Amino acid sequence: MLGSYRTIMEEKVSLRPSFFTWADGSRMHFFAVFDGHGGPEVSALCRDHMHAILADELARAAAAYRKEDQQDEEAEHRAWKAALTRSFVRADELGASGVPRGTIGGSTAVVALLVRGRIIVANCGDSRAVLCRAGRAVPLSEDHRLDRAEEMARVTAAGGVVFNYGGVLRVQGILAKTRALGHTLLKPEVICEPEITITARSEDDDFMILASDGLWDVM
């Protein structure tokens, strides 16, 4: 779901049902929102390629997982998380290649995978995944912004300088997010490593929303 209307929409959506078959034969379904900043180039690249990158990494993870005890749920979770983390690194490199040299451009990414009775969410930035369960909102991700103490500490430890512009904290006075894909001029302060959650589905689940800050900031 997209946020507020603009003349140029930098948000991109990717919906890929049954994009991969996991090691046990279960189909995996891919849903994602990418919110570009500094232009739509990086979010468009992520929309077009992230699912294929992830399918490649999941294939590697599945091959390794087949050699382990497939009754070990934690081993399966580690395999999923490793594939997602590697995919975000590759998408970050791809995004950086799509931005004109010397300019600032990037994208947030929130990716949700559905497989069997699990919802796997990988988030980088301040787009967000929220599940409606029994009529109540259940956050499946947490924003990467400077109002999180651990994110502030990580950014400053990496040498980043934080400025407050109009009440908004920004890395180097530029970016309000502390994690994103594609930013070459704001590294190492801004990283591409996602935070990943795995949630068991319930009969009480009604729907899930993936959206950019254009929606969440006005709710």
Q: How far apart are CA 19 and CA 15, in angstroms?
A: 9
Q: Which of 8-12, 176-180, 199-203 comes out lowest in average pLDDT?
A: 8-12
Model confidence at 8, pLDDT cuts 50, 70, 90, reads low
Q: Map out the domains of the chain as residue ranges.
A: 11-142+194-216
Q: Please tell me the predicted confidence (pLDDT) of residue 184.
A: 86
pLDDT, tens digit (0-9, with 9 covering 90-100), for 21-74: 999 999 999 999 999 988 899 999 999 999 999 999 999 999 999 887 777 899
Q: Please tell me the predicted confidence (pLDDT) of residue 219.
A: 66
Q: Please tell me the predicted confidence (pLDDT) of residue 2.
A: 47
**Assigned fold of 11-142+194-216:** Phosphatase 2c; domain 1 (3.60.40)
User: Are the CB atoms for 183 and 124 separated by under 8 Å?
Assistant: no
pLDDT, tens digit (0-9, with 9 covering 90-100), for 120-171: 999 999 999 999 999 999 999 999 999 999 999 999 999 999 999 889 999 9
Q: Please give the C-alpha separations between residue 120 and each of 30, 181, 195, in angstroms, as whole numbers.
A: 10, 19, 11
Q: How far apart are CA 124 and CA 108, in angstroms?
A: 6
pLDDT, tens digit (0-9, with 9 covering 90-100), for 46-56: 999 999 999 99
Token digits for 43? 């979010």
